Amino acid sequence: MDGTLVDSEKVWDISLDDLAAELGGTLSLATRKAMTGSSQDRTITMLFTELGRPHDPAEMAAASAWLTKRTGELFSAGLPWRPGALAALRLVRASGLPTALVTSTQRDLTELALDSIGREFFDLTLCGDEVGRTKPHPEPYLTAAERLGVEPADCVVVEDSPTGVTAAAAAGCTVLVVPCEVPVEPGPRRVFRDTLAGLDLATLAGLRGELIADTAH
């Protein structure tokens, strides 16, 4: 969702910087980039480490609640689409392909984002606080495939971050990588595209063949 469908990573930039200031410090660009695609728990842990604060569970829980509230305020103002994302969602939905939204963002914030994105595009949505292990672990994508009733090897995952790409590839899916805020390195099961603009069903259907061809070379 974040950075793949909507340009919400810039919203997270604001709320995370605000939280760092609230905690009496600043968030470095390197740590912020490392947070991209992570769950909120992992993000809070990284922030506390960055600021040199003890990992006190009560303080971290309070910081997480503060971040949720601030990000929710920003999400409620509306989220801008990534290039081609809305047209791609409409295309896939019209085709009848089973579709899931798999995000590291927690459920309450995802629901706010879906007010902008549209719940009608997805057969199911799976959030970071609804799985035991979040991205980069493959569990979120394995769970989504199981609930859709499809094999991971038959799935195309669209991702923008190294964390999400690692999860999808480890699940055995073909990954259409459209980088947003941070670069993604080439690797197994990955096909790269600069944007979702102009995406069509023939291109989606050909992704696995393109992956096989690349492997053969």
Q: What confidence tens digit (pLDDT) does each residue in 142-182 have?
A: 999 999 999 999 999 999 999 999 999 999 999 999 999 88
* Residue whose tokens read 């990954």: 175
Signed CA dihedral, 26, 32, 37, 38: sign only: negative
For residues 154 and 157, give the distance between their C-alpha atoms in angstroms, rounded to a whole number. Answer: 10
Q: Is the pLDDT reported for residue 217 higher than 60?
A: no
Residue 102 and residue 126 in contact, taking contact as beta carbons nearer than 8 Å: yes
pLDDT digits over 97-137, tens only?
999 999 999 999 999 999 989 999 999 999 999 999 999 99
Q: CB neighbours of 151 closer than 8 A, spacing ≥ 6? A: 145
Instruction: With residue 131 as reference, give the H or E element that holds it.
Output: none
State yes or no: cis peptide before 57, omega within 30 of 0: no
pLDDT digits over 17-48, tens only?
999 999 999 999 999 989 987 889 999 999 99
Q: Count the residues in the chain.
A: 217
Q: Is 12 exposed, middle or buried (0-12, 13-18, 19+ CB in 10 A)?
A: buried
The pLDDT assigned to 58 comes to 97
Per-residue confidence at 211, pLDDT binned at 50, 70, 90? low
